[in-house]
Structure 1
Amino acid sequence: MSASAFMRAVRITEHGGPEVLELTEVAVPAPQPGEALVQVSAVALNNTDLWTRQGAYGLPDDPKATSGWRGPIDFPRIQGADVAGRVVAVGTGVADSLVGRRVVVDPAIYDGEGPDAHPVGLMGSERDGGYAQYVTAPAERVHDVTRSPLTDEQLATLPTAYGTALGMIERGRLGTGETALVSGASGGVGIALVQIARARGARVIAISSGAKIDAVRAAGAHEVIDRAGDVTGQLRAAAPEGIDVALDVVAGELVGQGLPLLREGGRWVIAGALGGYDVAFDVRRLYLHNAQVIGSAMHTPAHFDLLMDLARQGAIRPVIAATFPLDQAAQAQEELSRRDHVGKIVMRP
C-alpha cells in the first residue's frame, strides 16, 4: 500500500446529533512500531458510539459534563470500537506472519500490561476506530480468529457487547447451575449475556418487553419477564429460591427492587444505567445477607482471551439485526437509538 493512500472514514469533529457524523477521505494510517494495520471487513455499532458522539458520559466531578468514554476527546475522531477484518501490514517489532490473518481487535485501552488490567479508554473514543476502511491497533490487541466459523459481521459484534457481557459474568462468578437475572435482555449486551450465561450452564431469567420476548427466549433464556408488568412479582414467581447473580445494564429503580431477591451471598453486577444512574437501595439488604454490588466496565485482557476462544469454537452465535454501508452511519446510529431491534447492527466499510 502506497504511503499516500487514502480511505473513506466517518468521523466527528464535535459532539452532537447524527448530523455531526461526516463521511470523508483521510490518509490510511501507518502502523507504528508494535502495531498492525487492519482492513476493516465489518464494524458493529454500540451504545458507546451514541454516547461518545453525544458526549453523554459525564465526568467523575460533573455527571452532566460533555465527555467521551473517559473524559474529553480529541477531534476529529473516527468512531467505531468493534472491528473484524484482515491484517494488511505491520509495524516494526511485529511478526510478518500476522499479515493476511482474519482478526478481531480488542478495543480497550488498558491501564497496564497484565491479564487483569482495567480498561481506561476505548477505540473510537480515545483513539481512532473502525468507521473506516482501515484502522491501526496494538498488535497484542489483534486476535487471530482465522478458523472461526462465524461470519465477519458476527465477529465484529463481539468486542464491546460480548466482551462487556463476559466481563460481567466473570466478575459475578456465575457458575453452572446458578440462576442468573439479565436485564435489558434484547439489547446487544443483553442478548450476549443470555447466550453466554446459557452456554455456561446457568438458568437464565431475562427481562424484556413486547415483541422482543420471543427473540430473547430464542437466544436461550429459560424464562422471560415482561417489564411492562409487575417485575418483582414475576421474578419471585420465576425464581422462588432467589437469584444468584443479577447481570444488569438497566440499573435505576431495578437495583432497589431487585436486591431483596438475591440469595445469600448473591452478586448484583452493573454495567449500564439505561434506567437511570441515580440509584437507592436499603443497605441492610446488602450487608446482612453478604451480598455484593459489583461495577463492571467492559473486560480485562484475560476475559477477552476467553471470548476469542468462544469465537474460534463458534460456541456462541451472535444475532445480526441489520447491516448498513459506511455512508449510512447516521441512519445506522439512528436505528440503534430507536431500540426497536434485537441483536446487533453492523456496517460494512
Structure 2
Amino acid sequence: MSVSLPAVMAGVVLTGHGDMDKQQYRTDLPVPVPGPDEVLIRVRAAGVNNTDINTRIGWYSKSGADADDASWAGKALEFPFIQGADACGEIVAVGSNIDAGRVGERVLIEPCLREADGQPLERFWYFGSECNGGFAQYTKVAARHAHAIHSQLTDTELASFPCSYSTAENMLTKARVAAGDTVLVTGASGGVGSAAVQLAKARGANVIAVTSPAKSDELLALGASRTVDRSENMISALGKDSVEVVIDLVAGDSWPDLLEVLKPGGRYAVAGAIAGPHVQLDVRTLYLKDLSFFGCTMLEPEVFPNLIKRIENNDIRPLVAHSLPLAQINEAQSLFLEKKHTGKIVLTVED
C-alpha cells in the first residue's frame, strides 16, 4: 500500500572519500522502493553528525594507506550513496509483509541496523553508511528500525535525537549508570556529550561535564552539577578515585588521567576519539583498580525504545543549534566543524 509517490527525488549523494566537493545535491535521484519487510519514509529533517564527516573523509580506515576498510562494518563502501544517520519523517509506503496501518506514522529511524534487505545482519550496519540514509526526500529501512513517535516537538527538533542520544543512552546502559553515580562526561557540549548530560541526569546521576568555559552555563542548564575546563588536568580538578563512571568521546593524549579519576570498580565507556584514537594504557591501572571498559557502537535492544519513551515523556529536551536546508549541507558541515555550537545542527528536507 502507498500514497501517490514521485519517481525521482532530491538528495545529497557522496561520490567518494574526500572533501566537501564529494557531496552532490541532486534532484534526479530515484525514489527507493521498499522490500517486503521495509517501510518507505518521507524524510522531513535529518541531523548532522561526526559519523557523516568521518565516513566522507575515510577516518574509519585503520590502514591509513587506503579506504577499503573505511566504514562501520570495516569494508569498502559502495559509491555513490546517500548519507545521513539521523532522520525524522513519516511512513508513506510499506512492504507486502508490513501492516498497511503504519502508513501515516511519524517515525524516528534507529540508526544502528540489525536487519537490511530483509535479512538479519551478522555484523551491524549504520544507517547512512552501509546503506542509504536520510539526506534525501525519501528513504527506506527495515520496519523494525522505524519507531513510531508521539510528540509535540517539531520534525527539526526530533531529528536531533536518534544518533547522538541513542549513542549516549547506549553508553549509559552499558556502563550501568544509576541514581547516585557520579558521571564524568568528556566532550560535553557536542551532540552525544550534551545528550549524555541530560540522560545521565534523568537517571538520577550527578554529572560533571568537561567543556570550554564559554559553554559552561549551557551545560549547567542541561543538568550538569559542575563543569570542568577541558584544558584542566582532570586529576588536579577532581582528584584521584572520584567518579564511578567516565563517558568518553575524546580520548587523546590526556586519556590516562580519566582512568586515574575513576574509583576502584569504576566503569569507562567510549564512543568517540575526537582528540585522537591512540592512547597510552598502563595495564596495571586497569586490573589493579578492577575497571570495566565498554566500547559502545551496536545499540543494546532496549536502548532505542527507551529513548523514545524519554522523548515522549519530556524527560529530555532537544538542543538544536542551527537549522539549514538540505541543499546547504556543506555550510552545515562547516558550522559543525567550527565546534562553536552546543547540541545539534539539523538539515530540513523540503518538498
When the two structures are superposed, what TM-score results if normalisation uses the length of structure 1?
A: 0.93
Deviations 1:230-270 (A, max 9, x none): 3321122xxx7611000000012333112121112101111
- Corresponding position of 1:132: 136
CA distance change for structure 1 residues 4 and 154 in 2, over 3 Å: closer, same or farther?
closer
Q: Distance in 1 between matches of 2:244 and 2:254?
A: 16
In 2: Cα distance, 1:230 partner to 1:108 partner: 34
Shift of 1:318: 1.6
SS of the aligned residue for 2:72 comes to coil
Match of residue 103 from structure 1? 107
Distance 2:25 2:295 in 1: 36
Q: What is the deviation of 1:2?
A: 5.2
State whether residues 149 and 313 of structure 1, in contact with CA within 8 Å, keep that contact through their aligned partners in structure 2.
no
**Are residues 1:212 and 2:215 paired?**
yes
Q: 1:72 is matched by which residue type in structure 2?
A: A
| Aligned counterparts, 1:89-168, within 5 A | 89-110=93-114, 120-145=124-149, 147-168=150-171
Alignment of structure 1 residues 185-224 onto 2, 5 Å: 185-224=188-227
After TM superposition, give the deviation of residue 118 of structure 1 in Å: 8.7
CA distance in 2, matches of 1:149, 1:173: 30
Give the structure 1 partner of residue 325 of structure 2: 325
Of residues 171-180 and 290-299 in structure 1, the stretch that sits farther from structure 2 once superposed is 290-299
Residue 275 of structure 2 is matched in structure 1 by 275
C-alpha contact 1:83 1:104 (8 A) present in aligned 2: yes
1:144, distance to aligned residue in structure 2 (A): 0.6
SS where residue 185 of structure 1 aligns?
coil
Q: Is the 8 A contact 2:16 2:80 kept in 1?
A: yes
Q: Deviations over 1:165-222 (max 9, x none)?
A: 0010000011100100000000000000000001110000110013112211111110
Distance in 2 separating the partners of 1:336 and 1:64: 27
Gap regions ≥5 residues in structure 1: none
CA distance in 1, matches of 2:6, 2:212: 51
Structure 2 runs not aligned, ≥5 long: none
Aligned partner letter, 2:332: A
Residues 43, 80 of structure 1: 8 Å contact kept: yes
> Is the CA contact 2:165–2:192 (under 8 Å) kept in the aligned structure 1?
yes
C-alpha displacement at 1:90, in angstroms? 0.5
Could you tell me which amino acid in structure 1 is paired with residue 162 of structure 2? P
Matched residue, 2:9: 7
Separation in structure 2 between the aligned mates of residue 63 and residue 216 of structure 1, nearest angstrom: 36
CA distance in 2, matches of 1:339, 1:119: 32
C-alpha displacement at 1:119, in angstroms?
Answer: 6.5
Q: Are residue 47 (structure 1) and residue 50 (structure 2) matched? A: yes
Report which stretch shifted further, 170-179 or 277-286.
277-286
Is the CA contact 1:33–1:93 (under 8 Å) kept in the aligned structure 2?
A: yes
Alpha-carbon distance in 1 for matches of 2:14, 2:314: 35
Residue aligning to 1:334: 334
> Secondary structure of 1:192's partner?
helix
Cα distance in 2 between the residues matched to 1:119 and 1:173: 24
Counterpart amino acid of residue 233 in structure 2: D
Distance change in 2, residues 1:148/1:4 (3 Å): closer
Deviation at 1:228, TM superposition (A): 2.2
Counterpart of 2:30, as a letter, is: A
Cα offset, 1:286, TM superposition: 1.4
TM-score (norm 2): 0.92
2:85 pairs with 1:72: no
